[in-house]
């Protein structure tokens, strides 16, 4: 008896998606995202995406508000160092020298160090990154440490520049890597690519690049993926929604403006009579409304007043939901970006602000402090000792210890000062937190605060001053706070 193999027994089964998120049929048939690397994605789309975000920040009120809110909360008055040098006198001398240098650190002479931080924060928001180049100042220019910082926009490094070099080095997105994948240099344009027709210098050198060693450049970037070379603008997930919503809002405003221009229309039972009257001037019969006007109409003519349609009750809800999604994509609380607290109460506001601050703390320490502040502090100490401005004994042997510093971010104002201060005092009294932690959270240096307190007390004693102790206040009822905020929000809505 001959064996007949079953039909299809040896047929290779078709690939099957075991995760719904990987299916390609029916509803997800049109969703086939790119699998390109982060380098390739930015090489293709980076410059256009950056240009669109900048256009939004320039012309869209919501994007501009989000940018200012981000920078004000991320940087504020500046992220400042507190040296951990053990010797108090040496530590004070280093801090004083740093304070003097911050006023002269800008290569362009426009900002102090904390103003540069704000510029960098704004660049990170708009372009996803910013470059800082070290410059050695000529000796004799000043008595401060001879080091200056020059900010370079993201445009100065071509995202599309890719090249293989003879020594097995590779250039991706304008950054040169050695065979081990380490950054060794940045290939900047000599002149800004957007200014190539402005001056003779730009025309002559606009298409030239200059190789700057990585040791002389800091790259402060918003990086999302391992292996990513260039930064991504923070509003990138919200660009399309903000632009389309702005177009819709403009169209709605223009429609209302056009409809409001027509106060009324004149109707006639015999319109052909107007055609036969050739002597009628083009503007005859057109009425203009002025206060106290009494218009005489021709026999048979009537006036029908315009009644333009309203936007509708869904307009505000539609705007709210879309703006909520847009600000969420940028990581900015809706109430801070728009100032609209009509839907907020104390609890919801506090929850949003706490989450927002947690995101900012992450970026402060992982990006601004680690990529900018720490290397600048280290380079400043090295140049200060080499130039003789800083006298730090045995610096070469104890460089790692002497260079330690704690960076104090700007304080976050209390949401409810009475309750928050009481909670901090209770935490210190119970031993859960130190006074230094509380003082640093307010953006101040604990040692400087203690010195000022001691000086105040000594002066009070010398002058015979006595001040009454502050009375303790009971924490207010959270429900009362909710009621107060809701009442204020309701008054605003009314």
- Average pLDDT estimate for 12-32: 76
In this predicted structure, the answer to whether residue 101 has a pLDDT above a threshold of 60 is yes
Write the Ramachandran bin of 363: left for phi over 0, alpha for psi from -120 to 50, otherwise beta.
alpha
Task: Tell how strand 264-267 and strand 302-305 pair up.
Answer: antiparallel
The reported pLDDT for the residue numbered 11 is 60
| Partners of 38 in beta bridges | none
Give the tens place of pLDDT for each residue, 181-190: 999 999 999 9
pLDDT of residue 348: 81
Task: Report the pLDDT averaged over residues 440-463.
Answer: 84
| Ramachandran angles phi, psi of 247, nearest 5° | -65, -45
* Max mean pLDDT range (130-144, 192-206, 253-267, 461-475): 130-144
Going from the C-alpha of 241 to that of each of 43, 93, 328, 329, 462, the distances in angstroms are: 23, 52, 12, 10, 65
Question: Which pLDDT band, with edges at 50, 70 and 90, does 27 fall under?
Answer: confident
Q: What is the chain's alpha carbon radius of gyration, rounded to the nearest angstrom?
A: 33
pLDDT range class, residue 279, cuts 50, 70, 90:
low
pLDDT tier at 472 (50, 70, 90 boundaries)?
A: low
Question: Which pLDDT belongs to residue 488?
Answer: 47
Q: pLDDT tens digit string along 323-371?
A: 999 999 999 999 888 888 888 787 888 888 888 989 999 999 999 999 9
Cβ neighbours of residue 202 under 8 Å, at least 6 residues apart? 191, 192, 195, 196
pLDDT in tens, 364-416: 999 999 999 999 999 999 999 999 999 999 999 999 999 999 999 888 777 67
Position with higher pLDDT, 13 vs 99: 99
Q: Is the pLDDT of residue 475 over 60?
A: no
Using the 8-state DSSP alphabet, how is residue 367 labeled? I
How far is the C-alpha of 408 from the C-alpha of 431, rounded, in Å?
22
Average pLDDT rounded to a whole number, residues 421-440: 85
Match 């029916």 to its residue by tokens.
26
- Count of other CB atoms within 10 angstroms of residue 209: 17
Confidence of residue 308 (pLDDT cuts 50, 70, 90): low
* Closest C-alpha to 52, from 233, 319, 228, 247: 233
Q: How far is CA 366 from CA 214, 226, 262, 407, 424, in A?
A: 19, 14, 58, 12, 26
Two structure tokens written together for 321: 């939901």
| 42, 232 contact by CB (below 8 A) | yes
* DSSP assignment letter at 288: -
Q: Is 360 exposed, middle or buried (0-12, 13-18, 19+ CB in 10 A)?
A: buried
Mean per-residue pLDDT, 230-252? 92
User: pLDDT tens for residues 155-171?
Assistant: 999 999 999 998 899 99
Predicted local confidence at residue 353, as pLDDT: 86
Other Cβ atoms less than 10 A from the Cβ of 82: the count is: 18
Range from 21-30, 145-154, 203-212, 263-272 carrying the lowest mean pLDDT? 263-272
> Which of 104-108, 220-224, 262-266, 421-425 is least confident?
262-266
Predicted confidence at residue 304, as pLDDT, reads: 72
Confidence (pLDDT) at 294? 62
* Residue 73 reports pLDDT greater than 80: yes
H helices present in 128-270, as ranges: 200-205, 239-261
Position 493 scores a pLDDT of 44
pLDDT band at residue 53 using 50, 70 and 90 as cut-offs: very high
Statement: residue 476 has pLDDT above 90? no
pLDDT recorded at residue 258: 76
Percent of the chain predicted with pLDDT > 90: 48
Mean pLDDT of the chain: 83
Nearest alpha-carbon partner for 367 in 43, 111, 128, 72:
128
Q: Beta strand 163-164 with 170-172: parallel, antiparallel or unpaired? A: antiparallel
Contact 71, 125 (CB under 8 A): yes
| Alpha-carbon gap, residue 349 to 485, rounded angstroms | 9
- According to the model, what pLDDT value does residue 492 have? 46
């Amino acid at each position: 008896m001959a064996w007949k193999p079953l039909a299809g027994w040896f047929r290779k089964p078709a690939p099957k998606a075991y995760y719904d998120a990987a299916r390609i049929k029916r509803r997800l048939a049109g969703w086939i995202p790119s699998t390109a690397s982060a380098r390739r994605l930015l090489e293709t789309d980076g410059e256009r995406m950056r240009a669109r975000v900048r256009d939004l920040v320039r012309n869209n009120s919501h994007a501009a508000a989000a940018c200012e809110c981000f920078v004000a909360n991320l940087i504020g008055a500046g992220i400042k160092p507190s040296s951990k040098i053990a010797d108090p006198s040496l530590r004070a001398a280093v801090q004083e020298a740093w304070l003097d240098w911050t006023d002269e650190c800008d290569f362009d002479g426009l900002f102090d160090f904390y103003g540069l931080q704000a510029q960098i924060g704004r660049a990170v928001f708009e372009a996803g990154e910013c470059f800082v180049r070290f410059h050695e100042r000529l000796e004799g220019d000043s008595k401060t440490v001879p080091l200056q910082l020059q900010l370079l926009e993201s445009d100065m490094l071509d995202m599309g520049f890719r090249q293989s070099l003879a020594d097995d080095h590779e250039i991706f997105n304008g950054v040169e890597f050695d065979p081990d994948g380490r950054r060794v240099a940045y290939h900047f344009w000599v002149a800004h690519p957007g200014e190539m027709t402005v001056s003779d210098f730009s025309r002559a050198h606009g298409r030239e690049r200059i190789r700057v060693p990585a040791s002389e450049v800091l790259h402060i970037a918003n990086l999302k993926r391992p292996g990513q070379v260039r930064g991504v603008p923070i509003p990138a997930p919200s660009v399309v929604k903000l632009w389309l919503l702005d177009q819709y809002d403009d169209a709605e405003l223009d429609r209302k403006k056009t409809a409001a221009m027509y106060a009324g229309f004149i109707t006639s039972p015999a319109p052909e009579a107007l055609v036969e009257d050739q002597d009628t001037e083009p503007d005859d019969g057109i009425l203009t409304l002025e206060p106290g006007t009494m218009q005489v109409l021709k026999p048979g003519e009537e006036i029908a007043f315009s009644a333009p349609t309203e936007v509708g009750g869904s307009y505000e809800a539609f705007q709210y939901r879309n703006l909520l999604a847009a600000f969420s994509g940028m990581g900015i609380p809706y109430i801070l970006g728009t100032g609209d607290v009509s839907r907020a109460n104390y609890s919801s506001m506090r929850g949003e602000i706490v989450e927002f601050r947690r995101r900012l703390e992450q970026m402060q320490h992982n990006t601004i402090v680690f990529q900018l502040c720490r290397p600048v502090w280290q380079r400043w100490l090295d140049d200060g000792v080499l130039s003789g401005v800083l006298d730090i004994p045995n610096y070469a042997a104890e460089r790692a210890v002497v260079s330690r510093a704690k960076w104090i971010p700007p304080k976050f104002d209390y949401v409810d000062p009475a309750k928050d201060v009481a909670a901090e005092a209770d935490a210190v009294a119970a031993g859960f937190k130190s006074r230094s932690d509380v003082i640093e959270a307010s953006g101040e240096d604990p040692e400087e605060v203690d010195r000022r307190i001691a000086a105040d007390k000594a002066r009070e004693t010398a002058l015979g001053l006595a001040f009454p102790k502050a009375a303790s206040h009971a924490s207010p009822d959270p429900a009362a706070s909710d009621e107060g905020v809701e009442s204020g929000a309701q008054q605003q809505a009314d």
